[in-house]
Structure 1
């Protein structure tokens, strides 16, 4: 497989991964829930449960939550060609700043699946409280507490590493360490996610707002790779041609 073909397939892989993760996010936490419909969770046990998590998933059927967890977790590897693609823009790939950024972004992909999938298990336990006898609730609340800890550890770690990696990537672009124009640092997934904040603040509570909130970062991934493809695909091919000329 030649270099240009690798580039094209890497773009396609990253875009497909982004779409699948947007779908997965919407399926697993894309709900506009009214807490007053679930007084047992949001009133009776409000002091014992993480209601900010419960509101995200309590309305989802088991099948929907399961598909949402699996469709994303099982496709995370498709982001790896996109990470490789982003790495290709570095001017000096052997420098510490280049491989450190590359390493962090690869680790973020490795951490993403578990952090995402754990939402499913939390959602199912929240729902179980609604469909079991009150005698089982103390145990289920205890299990929920443990599952919530696992979620924050896995998902939180993945998000921290991911944000750190892409912020570092933006900094490298700003510093001229890549072949991208310096302004391109502002279209990295980190900045694209920040641009969504005022949009979400302006939108009224609705299913659309819930979907954007649920899939915010993966929407940023999708936009980033589409922009990278539209604006800078040729620059990678030209860079390769320049290297071939230098060799000859």
Structure 2
């Protein structure tokens, strides 16, 4: 397989991965819920759990949450060619900053599935609390605290590492350490996610806002890889020539 073919299929893999993760995010956590609609959590047990997380997935069916958790988690490996693509843009791939950034981004992909799939398990547990007799609630609430802790450790770690990796990439683009123009540093998933914030804040409570909130970062991934393919793909293909 020649270099240009590797580039082509890496872009295809990355774009497919981004689409699948947007779908997964929307299905597992794409809800815009008013906690006040669920007084059991927002009032009765407000001091015993994370209210926003507890009410987030109450309206999602088991099949919907399961599909959302699986479609993303089972396709995370498709992001690895995208990380390889980012590495290809470095002018000098032997420099520590290049391979450290590459390594951090690989770790972020490895960490992503657990944090994502944990939303399914937490959602199902909170639904169980909401629909069972109060006599079972003390035990289930204790379980929910453990589930929530695992979710935030797994998901939070994945997000922090992912943001750190792409922020490092942006900084190096700004420093002219890559084949990209300096302004392209603003096109990384980190900045594309920040650019979405005013849109989210302007939207009223709705399903659309729930979709954007849940899938914001993976929408940024999708936009990022599409823009790279359209604007800067030739820069990598010229290396072969």
**Separation in 2, partners of 1:218, 1:162:** 11
**Separation in 2, partners of 1:92, 1:55:** 49
Question: What's 2:88 paired with?
Answer: 88
TM (norm. structure 2) is 0.98
Per-residue CA deviations over 1:48-106 (Å, capped at 9, x if unaligned) read 11011123211111110000000000000000001101110011111100000000000
Which structure ranks higher in relative contact order (CA pairs < 8 Å, sequence separation ≥ 6)?
A: 2
SS at match of 2:146: helix
**Separation in 1, partners of 2:37, 2:194:** 32
Question: What's 1:235 paired with?
Answer: 235
Q: Verify: 1:127 aligned to 2:165, yes or no.
A: no
How far has the Cα of 1:184 moved from its partner? 0.3
| Mapping for residues 200-211 of structure 1, pairs under 5 Å | 200-211=200-211
TM (norm. structure 1) is 0.95
Per-residue CA deviations over 1:16-43 (Å, capped at 9, x if unaligned) read 0000000000001111223333221222
| Mapping for residues 109-120 of structure 1, pairs under 5 Å | 109-120=109-120
Question: What's 2:212 paired with?
Answer: 212
Q: Verify: 1:147 aligned to 2:154, yes or no.
A: no
| Mapping for residues 53-92 of structure 1, pairs under 5 Å | 53-92=53-92
5+ residue gaps, structure 1, are 242-248
| Mapping for residues 93-104 of structure 1, pairs under 5 Å | 93-104=93-104
Question: What's 2:26 paired with?
Answer: 26
Cα RMSD for the two superposed structures: 0.8
Question: What's 1:244 paired with?
Answer: none
Number of aligned residue pairs = 241
SS at match of 1:215: helix
5+ residue gaps, structure 2, are none
How far has the Cα of 1:225 moved from its partner? 0.1
